[in-house]
Chains A and B, each alone.
Chain A
Amino acid sequence: MAETLTGTEAYAAEYERVGASLPGFAALRRRAMDRFRSLGFPTGREEAWRFTDTAPVAETAFRSAAGTANPNQFAALARGPLRGCQLAFVDGRFAPAFTQLPRGLEAGSLAEALRARSPLLEPRVGTLAAFEDHPFAALNTAFFQDGALVRVRKGTVLEEPVHLLFLSSFHGDPYVTHPRILVVLEEGARATVVASFLGPAGGTYLTNAVAELDLGPGAALDYVKVQRESQAAFHFESLGARQARGAALAHHSISLGARLARNDLSTVLAGEGAECSLLGLYEVSGSQMADHHTSIDHAAPEGTSRELYKGILDGRGRAVFDGRIVVRPRAQKTNAVQTNKNLLLSKEALVQTKPQLEILANDVKCRHGATIGQLDRDTLFYLRSRGIAEAEARRLLVHAFASEIVDRVRVDAVRAQIGGCLGLLAPSQP
């Protein structure tokens, strides 16, 4: 029976107990665990955690997921429109019953890759997603056992999106999973990856994920993350990407579920002429909290970055957007635009937005900005004056606000699914 964990020392004790049996990366895991112990859970005094209270995570006794969930409860969720090219996980463990992959696709469970000592892992795991300053990434790095590995070989174009489906079950005790994703696109490869995190209503669990994306020269990755965890769940993900010369990353972060969702996303434009587009949409209501910390590191010349995050806040929902763009001294001709827009639907909702530019080169075009607003009264009246009920008018305008992000999700089924979820959470009062 797994030990019940609370606080930093409890995880440390668990590590001492099971660490030796974890697959591979012994030295890395040890380093990560040491780092986690010295960082500890955030106290709120750290700049990166000022507005995000993780005490409920530190204080909850999460067990390690036992892997005993009855997968049948997911049969419906696993049979979505993307099931034809899907890698599924239940409570962090590979679920072959819900997995179907086209022949020739090099994708599979990370546990299997660890067993087989895949040469793809060693140079990447723990290097793309930094854990030195991030206790949750460190914790994942110490404990991860499974997850997804996708490799697209040089010059290969994947027509069909690869769906990584992470399902969390509903069962009695709070539990934690540490899923890990590694996507490797070799030179000139193109692919679309959809990562979905789903959990049934009421499930109390902690998803502590790490994703690492390695884009070779001229590679193009469209990566859509959809977070629809249980409203009682905690969701953390640290995503680290590295883009070689001319590589293009289009990342979409759709955050709808969880009681607390924290996303750390960082990409390094390491090669000349790389480009990234980071698009985000978060919707919170009730007492939900969504926190996005993004970092774009322009480390080479002629890089382009476009970042637009939009938030919809209702009830006592809270959100943080902290976006940092660094333009290194040699990254001349960088072109960067960063925007955060928030729509507040209630008086109690609260957003902290902090766009930051750090420019160390002199020949660059960069701008950033943030807005916080409410539904426009004149527009609401205009819609109502045409016979549209107020609630419907509000829903229309919320969708309109979100459409700038949703419409740019190129996978039809995912776009439709997001549209169907928006604005469903709570009826709004003016």
Chain B
Amino acid sequence: MDCGLTMLEIKDLHANAGDKPVLKGFTLTVKEGEVHALMGPNGSGKSTLAHVLAGRDGFTVTRGAVRYRDKDLLAMSPEDRAREGVFLAFQYPVEIPGVGNTYFLRTALNAILKHRGQPELDAKDFLDLIKAKAKVVRIGENLLSRPVNEGFSGGEKKRNEILQMAVLEPALAILDETDSGLDIDALRTVSEGVNSMRSKDRAMVVITHYQRLLDYITPDFVHVLVDGRIARSGGKELALELERKGYAGFGGPAD
């Protein structure tokens, strides 16, 4: 693991959600090929971190730095972060009536390919690609022609996030509570999709409230986030300890 290059380096990050300080000195280094699980109770700052990394407005960094592949991530627009290979799987994917799922995803992929100086895909080539990827994440082809997430079930929305990840092939994937609201079957499908994406060039940060997801996605590192900073880091066994003790055992509120 140690031989991988550093992909993401977060140092002493302080950030507000609106006016409220949420992250209070968050530090984390992620190398190529690694899968990090970030666990913590509600309000500990998990989702704020995900949003800050993706560049959502409404969140303000007050101190600290984030470097991604030796670039200042925080100085980049959301679209440039995506084009440089950062992907956020949303906890609550939005519905976009009037925008077809396939058209949306082709527009996104072509924006990224163009940024990289690679040839864009025409409608037919893209359709072949998305159909192949849809099989992997077990999304029905009928969902491809529908408007983005409109009328999708909770599980379909999460699978659609994983489909997007599979098509866009990011270098760094941040999964924000992708397990929330999923039944066991959906959880397994989503996890298989994520596992199929693991590679030595790709890093993942898996944010979750529950240990359950880690039964399916085995992390290299587990971090416990309490009150805006990492209270403890360890290997995958830390998740099991957390399961026994609860977050209270790590200085967090009783769960």
Contact = CB atoms under 8 A, between A and B. Distances in A.
B88 A399 contact: no
Interface string B84-119: 000110100110111100001101110110010000
B36 interface: no
A376 B98 contact: no
A403 B147 CA distance: 11
A401 B96 CA distance: 10
A383 to B, nearest CB: 7
29 contacts: A378-B94, A379-B94, A381-B54, A382-B90, A383-B96, A383-B108, A384-B77, A384-B79, A384-B82, A385-B56, A385-B88, A386-B82, A386-B111, A387-B79, A387-B82, A388-B79, A388-B108, A388-B111, A389-B111, A392-B111, A396-B99, A396-B107, A397-B98, A397-B99, A399-B99, A400-B96, A400-B99, A400-B147, A401-B98
A389 B105 CA distance: 13
B99 A385 contact: no
A386 B90 CA distance: 11
A161 B211 CA distance: 63
Classify the interface of chain A: helix, strand, loop or mixed. Answer: helix
Contacts of B147: 400
B107 A392 contact: yes
A386 B98 contact: no
Nearest to A382: B94
Contacts of A389: 79, 111
A384 B94 contact: no
Given A381-B56, A382-B90, A387 B108 contact: yes
Interface of A: 376-379, 381-390, 392-393, 396-397, 399-404
Most chain B CB within 10 A, of A377, A381, A382, A399, is at: A382
Nearest to A430: B57
Task: Report the interface size class on chain B.
Answer: 20 to 34
Contacts of A402: 98
B130 to A, nearest CB: 14
B33 interface: no
A30 to B, nearest CB: 51
B23 to A, nearest CB: 19
B133 to A, nearest CB: 14
Nearest to B85: A387
B78 interface: yes
B151 to A, nearest CB: 15
Contacts of B83: 387
B144 to A, nearest CB: 15
B172 to A, nearest CB: 13
